[in-house]
Each structure stands twice: as C-alpha cells, then as structure tokens.
Structure 1
Amino acid sequence: MTGDTPLSRYSLDGRTALVTGAGRGIGRACALALARSGADVALMSRSRDELESLASEVKATGRRAHVLVADVCDKAAVDAAISGLPRLDVLVNNAGTNVPQEFLDVDEETFDRVTSINIRAAFFTAQAAARRMVAAGAGAIVNMSSQAGHVALVRRTVYCTTKFAIEGLTKAMAVDLRGTGVRVNAVAPTFVETPMTKPFLSDPDFRAYVDANLLTTRLAGVDDVADAVLFLSCDASGMVTGTSLLVDGGWTAH
C-alpha cells in the first residue's frame, strides 16, 4: 500500500475481468464500470448482438473487449471460454433469472430453470474462474446475490432459495480459498429497474410494495450496483472477503 494514492486503489489497470450476463441491465453496467477503471473485459451471454454492441462501448474507453457467446448453463462452454482467456483477475458472477410465482403454484420446470441458472451455473462458473485465479495467486470473485438472499420477498420462494444459496456459497468459497490470494464476496441489490424487472415495477401494487420498504427516496439504478461491484473487485477492498455488500436502500434494516 505504501506509495499508493487513494484513487490508485480503485484502478484495475492491467487486469482482465469476466462479467456473465453482460449483455444488458446490471451486467452491462458492471462491464462498463470495470472498463472505465482500467480493466479489459470479457463479456459473456447468449446474445451476440448485445455483446457486440457493448464491446464497442468498452473499446471506446480504450480497453479490450473479449466477446464470449455462451450459455452459463453449458458448463463445458463456460470452462472453455474461461480457460481461453489470456488472464483472469476478476469474475462478476452476474447471470441470473427470476420467475415470480406463488409458492403453491411453483412448477418443476420453473424451479429447475431458475435454480439451474442461479445456483448450478453460478457455482461452476465461480469454480472455473477460481482455478485460474488460484494458479495465478490472486483474484476477486463477486457473486451477484440479492436482498432476497437476506429476507423473504413475496411470490419469490424459488428466487429467495437461490439467493440464500449464493450467500452461503460466497462464505464457503471464501473459507475454502483462504491463503490463495483469491477473495470472494457478494453484492446484494434491492429491486433495480432493468429489462427483467421493468414489468414487475410497472404494476402499481408491486411498486407500492417496493416503495413502502425502501428507506431511500428513489429506486436503485444499475450504476449503484456497478459501483459496489467495482469496490469489491479492486485493491481498495483488499481486506474484504466472505461477506455480502447490501445495496438495498435500507430494505433489510427493518
């Protein structure tokens, strides 16, 4: 730390970050935040068009962009993409989904789809990234959790199940990776207006439910989450591991 300036602790110059679910919403914002802080960024999702558009924006910052078209549920494809990167210093394990249903109405297809993306894919993506980082002796993994990993939310039993799992995974990974130079943390946002959440937030009753639980005077934006991810990705958080950073507008405080 000697000789570092405060801002240099937030620099990612010379590093490479992988963002899953990068094509839109929170993932896109994270990729741009990392690039603006100096990282080359590997962009992973199923949509080439979205990734190519984002890659152009990353390149406009002066950083390199690696376009990785892959389904995070395809472990072999993800393993190959990660092993093919020139280096890997940061993973933003962001890909996820949600299908709101009443508990009594949850069907097996929905349960399997949501848990496959939110738990299984997140687990094995983190494992593949961690293997690269352990071999290099350093790295930062940021799992995308949710306030739903801390408190119950209406019509979201499956989603809450997956995000409580991510909170546990984050802590257990940090313990297993102690001494390797690899830190593992989670970011747990409240409801953020993205293409996935916009239909929910457009419902007046649901929006009233959200507003009643926030202590802030506004909804969270994607940049609020990206800023937290950036902090946990850089040297400024060098003593932070095995924990979850809530970006929840105070939702879980009451």
Structure 2
Amino acid sequence: MFDLSGRTAVITGGGSGIGRAAAILFAKQGATSHILDMNEIQANAVAEEIKQAGGSAQIHVCDVSDKAQVEVVINSIGTINILVNNAGVAHVGKADNTSEEDFDRVFRINVKGVYNCLHAALPLMKANGGGVVLNLSSIGAVVGISDRFAYSMSKGAVQAMTLSVARDYIHDNIRCNCICPARVHTPFVDGFIAKNYPGQEKEVFEKLSKSQPIGRMGTTDEIATLILYLCSDEASFITGCDYHIDGGFIKLNN
C-alpha cells in the first residue's frame, strides 16, 4: 500500500520539520523527493539521509515567495506528480499590534508562496495527465486562536485555495486537499517559543502541549503519514477536503 514508485514529489520547506518527515517518507515509498528550501545545509542533510537509506532526492534552494525563482525551479523539475505546499512562517500578534511589514511577510510566504507553486506546477500536472496537491493549513483556519491574527488569516486563505483548486481541476485528474494540524513538535516550534517567550520556554512548551486534549504535541512522522495517505492512490476518491490532525483540539476542547 501507499506505493509511490516512479513518482516525482515536490515538498516545499522540506529541509526541516513536517516537510523533512514527508520527504523522507515519500522517498521510502519509492518517490523521488525534490526538496525546496531556503536553507541549503538543512536540505542537503535531508537529501543525504534519504540517499543513505537507498532513496532518491534532489534539493533546490528556493524562496517560495519569489515567483520567478519558483517558476525556474518547478520548470527545471519537469514532471511533477505530487506537490506538498508545506513552507510557511508563524507570527504572534493581534490585528491592532501586527505591523504592516509582519502582515505582508506572512502573506507573502504563507499565501503567495502557495499560489506561486500552484501557478507553476498545475500546468505541468495537467500536461502529465493529473497529479495531487496537498496544502498545509492549520487549526488556526478553523477556530479562533489568541494572538495569531496574521497566521490564521494566511491559513484560512490556504483552505480557500484548496477548495478552488479541487473544484477547478477535478476533470484534469488533479486532486487537492489540505490538512490542519494542531501543534506539532518541530525545531520550528522550539525556535518560535525561544524567540517569543524567552525565559519561559519550559512553561510555554508544557502549556502548548496540554492545549491538545490528548495531552501532547503531534510528531512530524504522524503528520507525514497522513500526507502520504492523501497523496497516494489509496486516497484517489478524496479531493476538496481538510483533515484535522489535532489530538482532539477542535472537537474535544470544551
């Protein structure tokens, strides 16, 4: 099951966290993982890990918010069977204390970055007879989360883009879904806590972990497994859906 032999998968932000776990799992299942990341060192480390395990991977240093860069990279890959729009940034702030600069940065990476990759990859998928797009949204697109105004805005846009792509390309044999993780323990989360809550790292980590009714954060491997399923032929009847992978956060937090 979940065989991706011969498939070409593009994973943005594949140098760390969820993207790294997805790139490794895809390669394990037979795909060639194309890792798009701004951090060449991290991307190389993931590709080397994949190759050491007998898999196939290539890296592309790319800023997803730069449309010209994205087009060059995507067109250089050519055939694309799977696109995982994972790259993104977070931000702490409410509507009245989020600066225009910060708002624009979140929008440029989390929203325009997804658009840039879709705009470049969808014509290649159409020409190849189909494909799968998986977007990373968030529980922040579904429920109100304190001090996450810009981030939640961006992830709501990702959900809307997911539905539009699923509808517009359903007859081109292109499926598009998104997943909405709650908090997942990644190096990004550790850095985020250290930057925004200096001196309170342990307390904030525990608070964020326990905000999931299940009592902990998710793991990158757990998220990658759902991504693999939705990008595999076993999920061929699923499109235009958003999957909550949240330790009970949305339904059980009463």
TM-score (norm 1): 0.92
Q: Offset of 1:209 from its aligned partner?
A: 5.2
Deviation of 1:139 (Å): 0.5
The one-character-per-residue Cα deviations of 1:210-254 (angstroms, maximum 9, x if unpaired) are 51x322132201111101110111001000000111111111104
The structural deviation recorded for 1:119 is 0.3
Query: Residues 118-129 of structure 1: matches in 2 within 5 Å?
Result: 118-129=110-121
Contact 2:209 2:215 in 1 (8 A): no
Relative to structure 1, is the Cα distance of residues 154 and 207 closer, same or farther in structure 2, using a 3 angstrom cutoff? farther
Aligned to 1:200: 193
Residue 59 of structure 1 is aligned with which of 51, 62, 66? 51
User: RMSD across aligned C-alpha pairs, in angstroms?
Assistant: 1.5
Matching residue within 162, 165, 170 for 1:170: 162
Q: Which residue of 2 aligns with 1:243?
A: 241
How far did residue 104 of structure 1 move?
2.1
| Aligned mates of 1:86, 1:128 — CA distance in 2 | 10
CA distance in 1, matches of 2:136, 2:68: 22
Aligned to 2:3: 11
Per the TM alignment, residue 138 of structure 1 is displaced from its structure 2 partner at its CA by 1.4
Shift of 1:102: 3.1
Deviations for 1:29-71, whole angstroms, at most 9, x for unmatched residues?
A: 1101111111001011111111111111111232221110111
Cα distance in 2, alignment partners of residues 222 and 63 from structure 1? 19
When residues 61 and 99 of structure 1 are mapped into structure 2, their CA distance, relative to the original with a 3 A threshold, is same
Tell me how far apart the structure 1 counterparts of residues 57 and 204 of structure 2 sit (CA, whole Å). 41
Q: Kindly indicate whether the alpha-carbon contact (under 8 Å) linking 1:45 and 1:51 is maintained by their aligned counterparts in 2.
A: yes
* 1:217 matched residue in structure 2: 215
1:232 lines up with 2:230 in the alignment: yes
Aligned to 2:9, what secondary structure does the other structure show?
strand
Counterpart mapping for 1:31-70 below 5 A: 31-70=23-62
Task: Quote the residue 1:181 is aligned against.
Answer: 173
Cα distance between partner residues in 2 of 1:91 and 1:183: 10
Extract unaligned runs of 5+ from structure 1. 1-6
Amino acid at match of 2:27: A
Q: What secondary structure is seen at the aligned counterpart in 2 of 1:137? A: coil
Alignment match of 1:72 (pick from 64, 68, 93): 64
**Identical-pair percentage:** 32
SS in 2 for 1:197: helix
Q: How many residues are treated as equivalent by the alignment?
A: 245
Range moving further from structure 2, 147-156 or 57-66: 57-66
Q: Which runs of 5+ in 2 are unaligned?
A: 195-200
Q: CA deviation at 1:203?
A: 5.1
Task: Supply the distance in 2 between the matched residues of 1:226 and 1:149 (Cα, whole angstroms).
Answer: 20
Deviations 1:58-109 (A, max 9, x none): 1123222111011111111111111111421000100000121233211011
Q: Residues 209 and 81 of structure 1: is their aligned pair in 2 closer, same or farther, counting only changes over 3 Å?
A: closer
- AA aligned to 2:66 is D
Q: Distance in 1 between matches of 2:39 and 2:193?
A: 23
Flag the 1:205–1:29 CA change in 2: closer, same or farther, 3 A. Answer: closer
- Tell me the distance in 2 between the aligned counterparts of 1:26 and 1:205: 21
Contact residue 216 and residue 249 of structure 1 kept, 8 A = yes
Q: Distance in 2 between matches of 1:128 and 1:207?
A: 41
TM-score normalised per structure 2? 0.92
1:22 maps to 2:14: yes
- Secondary structure of 1:142's counterpart equals strand
Equivalent-residue separation in structure 1 for 2:208 and 2:6 (angstroms): 44
Would you say the 8 A contact 1:35–1:61 is kept in 2? no
2:81 counterpart letter in structure 1: D
